[in-house]
Structure 1
Amino acid sequence: MTLLRGDALSEAFDHGSTAYDRLVSASPGYHAHLRRSARRLGLPEEGRGLRVLDLGCGTGASTAALLAAAPRARITGVDASAGMLDRATAKSWPQGVDFVHLPVEELAGRLEAGSFDAVFAGYLFRNLTDPDEALDMLHGLLVPGGRLAVHEYTLGGSPVHRAVWSAVCSLIIQPAGRLTGDAGLYRHLRDSVTRFDTAPAFAQRLRRAGFADVRVLPLPGWQTGITHTFVGRTAAVPGVRA
């Protein structure tokens, strides 16, 4: 299967947005894992005015996780799918949370360097045509000493992880996608994970992009070895790569 990219992927998410919250809520640990990854950014709970970019925010599950970790932060959620953002904006949010309909590839031309103290990206990078270009762009958008957390499906090194993922997709995820009329989107989910980086390979991408103190942190439950949190930071000295 050819993976969905660009407008085709956005349109698939637009169509899938009506059932998306219901499906992910049925996945054990989905919201708890996002909250855990958000906490791993290490944002101060009383960090009033912290500027956080929630990249690939979808229907706002990651936005809610960030608010749980840093309730006083100013959060900008960005997503390429208008349908997903419609679901996000229909929810109740405190002052300081806003949403922008924009593909990742167009962010650099809209935002100034050093616009954010932290970036969170959930289930995003395996959907991008050029993950390295996106990481370079995010490095530039962060302040010196800024923090990045990526929450992503990245298989570990054991064949068991790949086998578990294949079984879950075949028995649960893809049948659910067929029931909601979103079979193509959930085939893409399966294949985008199996074709994407392993966890060690993605950590190397972060280091090549100039992020320091990169760590790969596991998540519990059936997702162990399948979903990881990656954290890193930019150099504390302006203009110096970490």
Structure 2
Amino acid sequence: MTLLRAEALSTAFDHAAASYDRLVAANPGYHTHLRRSARRLGLAHDGRGLRLLDLGCGTGASTAALVRAAPQARIVAVDASAGMLARARAKSWSGRVSFVHAPAEQLAGAGVTGPFDAVFAAYLFRNVGDLDALLRAVHRLLAPGGRLGVHEYTLSGRTAHRAVWRLVSGGLVRPAGTLCGDRSLYRHLSDSVAAFDTAEQFARRMARQGFTGVRTLPVPGWQTGIVHTFLASAGPVRAEARRGAAR
């Protein structure tokens, strides 16, 4: 199992940016599941008056999911890959969305500071070095009662779910990446799922780093037991944040 370090991973994403949207579009449910996780944040009143952080926005799929869930919110979208961010910026956005080039671990240096009413992180945490440090940093960025939503490949403890991932990874993910000339990136992405916390472990990790009310919700379809939404609060949950959190 070979995982790329931060600088090499950003470079690999830069190279893969041109084909990334086409590849993920071939994944049944990819965009639908992102939208479901964004809705689960339960952002009331179309997000009016809220400030949101999309951490690890990639080419903007997670940003689009947040916009749909909270069209009136102000959204700061951040990514470490210049190539992926360029693809995101090239898409059509309202003036409420802004993009920043920065690693998730170095937000302050890029001028990204809190408080945020919610942070959404899709497919990010398994690609960072120090999970606990980043969770603590995210906690500090959130306003009291602010919510964290994590959408991530986190296998359940069931052998069947791990077997499905091995089949999909070996039969589809790696070959597709190789055909696009990005073999090392897609090898990393497939291996990182197996190396990452299980869903139960990641939920416990969030609680250890000060998040309260941690919930783990599955996604439907073939990714049940493979992709989960994690929801948590940085303190007392405000009434307006509760509505719709379990949809």
What TM-score, normalized to structure 2?
A: 0.93
Cα pair 1:148 1:232 within 8 Å, conserved? yes
> How big is each residue's C-alpha offset from its partner over 1:165-189, in whole Å with a ceiling of 9 and x where there is no partner?
0000111111111110011111001
Q: Which residue of 1 aligns with 2:228?
A: 228
| Structure 1 unaligned regions, length at least 5 | 238-242
Question: What are the equivalent positions in structure 2 for 1:1-242 lying under 5 Å apart?
Answer: 1-109=1-109, 110-112=111-113, 114-236=114-236
Q: Deviations over 1:87-126 (max 9, x none)?
A: 00000001110000000111144444x4200000000000
Determine if contact 1:31/1:61 at 8 Å carries over to the other structure.
Answer: yes
**Structure 2 unmatched ranges of 5 or more:** 238-247
Report percent identity of matched pairs: 66
Quick one: distance in 1 between partners of 2:108 and 2:87?
Answer: 25
1:122–1:150 CA contact under 8 A, matched in 2: yes
**Partners of 2:202 and 2:25 in 1: how far apart?**
27
Deviation at 1:49, TM superposition (A): 2.5
Higher relative contact order (CA 8 A, sep 6+): 2
One-letter identity of the residue aligned with 1:66: L
**2:18 partner letter:** T
Structure-2 separation of matches of 1:173 and 1:104: 25
Give the number of equivalent residue pairs: 236
State the secondary structure of the residue aligned to 1:235. coil
Secondary structure of residue in 2 paired with 1:16: helix
| Range with bigger deviation, 27-36 or 44-53 | 44-53
Give the 3 Å change call, closer, same or farther, for CA 20–45 of structure 1 in structure 2. Answer: farther
